Structure 1
Amino acid sequence: MKKWLALQFIVLTTFSNICFADDDDSAPAPDIQVTATVKTVPVMQKVIQQTIIAYGTILPDADQITTLSMPHAGLVENVWVRPGQKVKKGDLLFSLNASPGEKMTYLQAEASVEFAKKDLKRQEELLSQHLATKAQVTSAKKTLQDAQIHLASLKKQGLGESLQRFIAPQNGIVTQVNIQAGQRVQTDSSAIQIASDQQFVVRLGVEPEDLANLTVGQTVKIQSVFDLEKPFESKVSQIHAMLNPTTHLVDVIVPIPSDQATHYVIGSRLKGEIQMASHDALTVPRSAILTDNEGSYVFSVHDGEAQRINIHTGQSTHEWVEVTEGLSMGENVVSHGNYELEPGMKVQEETK
């Protein structure tokens, strides 16, 4: 009997605890309202500049490149420069020893001049003795003149020297070296290229579909991809009509002003903003624009609550986005703190 009473007591106690626990769980949670602090700005009218962004590389100006070619066949004795080296006018570049065949040609030309001189002298003596005609003397003079011209041409090619040294014809940068010491070369083969260190261009690559919007003379804002704080302006000088086989883009050539050339080196990467048409537009800061599956939208504040406004956007700059539909001049939109907002959420505008 006592055991039965004890068991009933345990069951009643457990049931009471469960009931009280259920009553506690069903108690309503306190109502907590979240208030977000935001910053708002007015919709403003600004000039939107339509641009094409392109990237490219600094190259020497093709019109300012000097190519030194071999005046005759021979053996390269020494090469004193390397690609990328800066040179001054008169600096030694390389030396060339004439080939045996070229030396023989020069010796033959010297002998021809000496023979022509002696023949002319003999013809003049015969004329004085009435044993030769004036035509024969005139022919001997012409032969001597031709021989002297041929010898002068060979001397100009450097064949009169046992070892010919070549010097830089201008200040510049060695962009190409096609020879090395001990190499045998042929007449007119390219040896060295020197580019001006004051005339550079940037070769920008643009998509083929953008060609319709490009014209020679358009302004381009150029800046280093590593230093966006020092832009400068130039103008489009050439627009190519074929794809670059390496980049698969269309090359647009923009000269770099001479006062900017000293700040860059050949091969540097640059960013170009090709400026096209501009127009007045209603704009909001880029930070105010949000997007989701329904499109672009902004938040405004009405009666202390966040209100979503769907918008359509147009052109944009680094800081501003054109709004073509959904907003009016002077309306305020949330520019900071909008990522945490939901429609109807309580908000507090940041005091300025």
Structure 2
Amino acid sequence: MNYETGVVSETPTSLEGDYGIAAEDKPFYRNWKFIAGIIAALIIAAVAFALLTAEETPVGDDNSGAPTVTVIMPGTTTVEGKITAPGTLQARREMPVGVVGEGGRVISVPVDAGAWVRQGQVLAVIDRSVQTQQASSASAQIEVAKADAQLAQNNLDRALQLVERGFISKADVDRLTATRDAARARVQVAQAQYRELLARNARLNIVAPASGLLLERNVEPGQTVSAGSAPLFRIAKGGEMELMARVSEDQIGGLSVGVTAEVVPAGTEKAFSGQVWQLSPVIDPQDRQGVARIALAYAPQLRPGGFATATINSGTVVAPILPESAILSDDEGSFVFVVGEENKVVRRAIKTGFVSAAGVVVESGLTGTEKVVLRAGGFLNEGETINPSLLKAAGDK
């Protein structure tokens, strides 16, 4: 008989007997727990992502495909109104000083620009050698006239004594009296001419008409000057300065004389306190601006002709305040995006005011109750649907 022979295990493998798993499937069975753990982890991650996404979606919005955009309701805030205006510094009361008399050759200039001068102080001395001789001649003429007057008086006195004796007629006495009076008049004329020369000579020297800061010196020794020539000196009376701040037509209407201002010259961060002392009564038809003149005390940093910027207090205003990120601008002006009906983006034109530490003051265009797009305005289009996420503003009331 033919028998097939082979090696057969006497003890069957437990997996083969108990679970019916073939020997060739043993590697898969060893890794099934590892694969099951990976699948469970993926399921947990998917559930967590779904929960987080559900928390970020604003409550009550059905626009699942619309972008979520942060909006702000600014409300209204009471702030100190301020107007920022550029301008040019100049002397508040500038005094040009020129030749008062007939002029002549300048022989001395004892002052220089930047010096403080007092009223009546000599700024320039003009040669007066000829005028001095003229004054001496006039003084001598006075003495001659006095001598003639005395002689005329003596002749009259003698004639009066002879009249009583009948040696001189009444007509002769009248003639001698007239001669005496004419001699006295010539004395007065000579004295007046002398005083005139003295006054002319006094005006040769150029003096300061008032105390103040000498801004310009336009004359040197040896120069010949005459009446009608350009001013030789310029003085800031009392050293007082001012800023000619240029403000718009609508801004100047909100200002009044006496309001305070802070002036910062170009090239420095130091601020100087001043006060509006005059408002321009006219508006420049070219640029539609007026001038607010801000009085300033003397300071070395305030130089006439320099550029400065003024921040003028214009009273308190109640208006919305927005962060700069919420305000956009184009050729039509400044605007913001607000949330309209059905959460659609609506463009709203606004007029901005000054910039404070809290943000930009919106003078018109908003009431403060609108929902304004905070940051993403540059990526939105008017009419686009969004999911607004409200961020509470510090200025809410």
TM exceeds 0.5?
A: yes
CA distance in 2, matches of 1:134, 1:216: 73
**Cα deviation digits, residues 94-141 of structure 1 (max 9, x gap):** 2210264x4554344223212211112112212211266444333332
* Aligned-partner residue type, residue 361 of structure 2: V
Asked if the contact 1:42–1:284 (Cα under 8 Å) also holds between the matched residues in 2, the reply is: no
Letter aligned with residue 176 of structure 1: E
Q: How many residues align?
A: 306
> Structure 1 residues 39, 156: closer, same or farther in 2, change over 3 A?
farther
Which of the residues 125, 128, 131 maps onto 1:98?
A: 128
Shift of 1:86: 1.7
Match of 1:80 among 96, 106, 110: 110
Distance in 2 separating the partners of 1:206 and 1:134: 77
Matches within 5 A, 1:16-95: 42-47=73-78, 53-62=84-93, 65=95, 67-82=97-112, 84-89=113-118, 93-95=123-125
Identity among equivalent positions (%) equals 18
Preserved contact between residue 77 and residue 321 of structure 2 (Cα < 8 Å): yes
Q: Quickly say closer, same or farther: Cα 1:269–1:347, change in 2 above 3 A.
A: same
Residue aligned with 2:271, SS: coil
**Cα distance, 1:93–1:239 mapped onto 2, change above 3 Å:** same
Cα shift at 1:55? 2.3
Structure 1 letter corresponding to 2:200: Q
Correspondence 1:200 to 2:241: yes
Residue 179 of structure 1 aligns with which residue?
219
Q: 1:93 to 1:225 in 2, by over 3 A?
A: closer
Q: Look up the match of 1:252.
A: 291
Question: 1:76 deviation in Å?
Answer: 0.8
Does the 8 Å contact 2:262/2:311 carry over to 1?
Answer: yes
- Flag the 1:320–1:68 CA change in 2: closer, same or farther, 3 A: same
If the length of structure 2 is used for normalisation, what is the TM-score? Answer: 0.58
**Match of residue 192 from structure 2:** 149
Give the Cα–Cα distance (whole angstroms) in 2 for the partners of residues 72 and 203 of structure 1.
Answer: 37
Instruction: Tell me the residue number matched to 1:265.
Output: 303
Partners of 1:86 and 1:307 lie apart in 2 by 69
CA-based RMSD of the aligned residues comes to: 4.9
Local SS of the residue matching 2:232? strand
Please list the CA deviations of residues 265-312 of structure 1 after superposition, one character each: whole Å capped at 9, or x if unmatched.
Answer: 222212245677975434433332234699723478xxxxx9855333
Cα deviation for residue 344 of structure 1 reads: 4.6
Give CA deviations for 1:219-259 in whole Å, capped at 9, x if unaligned.
47342254566363522515265869xx988662514143x
Looking at structure 1, the residues matched to 75 and 87 of structure 2 have their Cα atoms a distance apart, in angstroms, of 34
Q: Does 1:313 align with 2:359?
A: no
Computing the radius of gyration over CA atoms, which structure comes out larger, 1 or 2? 2
Counterpart of 1:303?
Answer: none
Assess if the C-alpha contact under 8 Å between 1:220 and 1:275 holds in 2.
Answer: yes
User: Following TM superposition, by how much is the alpha carbon of 1:79 offset from its aligned partner in structure 2, in angstroms?
Assistant: 2.4
| Structure with higher strand content | 1
How does the TM-score come out when normalised to structure 1? 0.64
Whichever residue aligns with residue 98 of structure 1, its letter is: R
Structure-2 change in CA distance of 1:252 and 1:310 (3 Å): closer
Q: Deviations over 1:157-194 (max 9, x none)?
A: 3379xxx7655565422233343221222246543332
Q: How does 1:157-172 map to 2 (within 5 A)?
A: 157-158=200-201, 168=208, 170-172=210-212
Tell me if structure 1 keeps the 8 A contact 2:76–2:367. Answer: no
Q: CA deviation at 1:316?
A: 2.0
What is the distance in 1 between the residues matched to 2:283 and 2:379? 50
Letter in 2 for 1:266: P
Does the Cα contact within 8 Å between 1:70 and 1:191 map onto a contact in 2?
no
